[in-house]
Amino acid sequence: MNHSGAESNQRAAVEVTKDKNGIDQVVLQNTRGASVRVSLHGGQILSWRTDHDEELLFTSSKAIFKPPQAVRGGIPICFPQFGSRGLLEQHGFARNKIWVFDENPPPLHPNDSNGKAYTDLLLKPSEEDLKAWPHSFEFRLRVSLAEDGYLTMISRIRNINCKPFSFSFAYRTYLSISDISEVRIEGLETLDYLDNLCEKQRFTEQGDALTFESEVDRVYLSSSDVIAVFDHEKKRTFTIQKQGLPDAGVWNPWEKKSKSMADFGDEEYKKMLCIDVAAVEKPITLKPGEEWTGRLELTTVPST
């Protein structure tokens, strides 16, 4: 299954392996040696490494890799519900399901294929899913790793029902950071946010940049399409670009909450920051036959 764009250059590669529970994973590697590992469990990215083999995503040392548990870390997909805003289980069911490969994915755009490795995964509802959420859909996820190490996730969700349906959605990105008290976020200034620690009440961000000294669990509304996370100690900036996803969640459980989570180490909150690129406040509604696209692009650049 080698559908990397650079057939002439053998090093942009797509390889299938199995985890210890026998679940397939896809490893994408670009020509410079950066890599991304995606599991069919949840269509979830579990690893994104630089060409110096440095891991950019956080996964808890206590994460559980057995479906139907969701994996604590990487980039889980929240669909068709974000958080507890609805009747389904927390963050919906997509992140707990076993997805399938699309053996014949549509090709990349010719301008887009240089040195890029990619894979397409599909999720269709099971009988059980349709009982919980009675809407037929096809969810196509394309994960690609470009020559410059950019990681892109594109979700296409199509309504193959005879009636409309609505959903909320998020890519929940667990970033690996040096120290939560040394990190700042830019791109959320002056925005309204819903505070999950205050019964989803609405507030307005007053700070120039967001920094952390206690638990944070917020959804910023109608944010710009670029958010930057500065990690001073690592001299690294994550740039998060999004399309079709107006909102941005920010989460760090801090000390007390960390101790109450079975699949999360007591001290691990210091090394992670969760950013959701999401459509939460206004659910997305699809008419029969309609398709929605939501895109996330992650990059890192050295910073001072």
Q: What are phi and psi of 87, to 5 degrees?
A: -95, -10
Say which residues have a Cβ less than 8 Å from residue 8's Cβ, sequence separation at least 6. none
Residue 22 CB partners (closer than 8 Å, separation 6+): none
Domain residue limits, the chain: 13-302
For residue 218, CA distances in Å to 83, 98, 139, 201 come to 11, 29, 27, 10
For residues 99-106, average pLDDT: 87
- Residue 175: pLDDT over 80: yes
Pairing of strands 216-220, 236-243: unpaired
pLDDT band of residue 95 (cuts 50, 70, 90) is very high
The total number of residues written for the chain in this structure: 304
For residue 258, pLDDT over 60 is answered with: yes
**CATH class held by domain 13-302:** mainly beta
Question: For 97-118, what is the mean pLDDT?
Answer: 83
- Nearest CA to 274 among 188, 180, 206? 180
Name which of 8-17, 94-103, 147-156 the model is least confident about: 8-17
Given this model, what pLDDT does residue 112 score? 72
What gap in Å lies between CA 209 and CA 218, rounded to an integer? Answer: 15
pLDDT at residue number 17 = 93
pLDDT of the residue at 104: 82
Q: What was the pLDDT predicted at 253?
A: 92
6 has a pLDDT exceeding 50: no
Determine the average pLDDT of the residues in 239-252: 97
pLDDT, position 11: 62
- Which tokens sit at 12? 């942009």
pLDDT, tens digit, for every residue of 127-162?
999 999 999 999 999 999 999 999 999 999 999 999
Spatial separation of the C-alpha atoms in residues 173 and 228, rounded to whole Å: 13
Q: Which residues contact 127 (CB under 8 A, 6 or more apart)?
A: none
pLDDT, one tens digit per residue, over 275-303 is 999 999 999 999 999 999 999 999 999 88
| pTM score | 0.92
* pLDDT tops 50 at residue 7: no
Computed over every residue of the chain, the mean pLDDT equals 91
Does residue 288 contact residue 163 with C-beta atoms inside 8 Å? yes
Percent of the chain past pLDDT 70, that is, above it, reads: 96
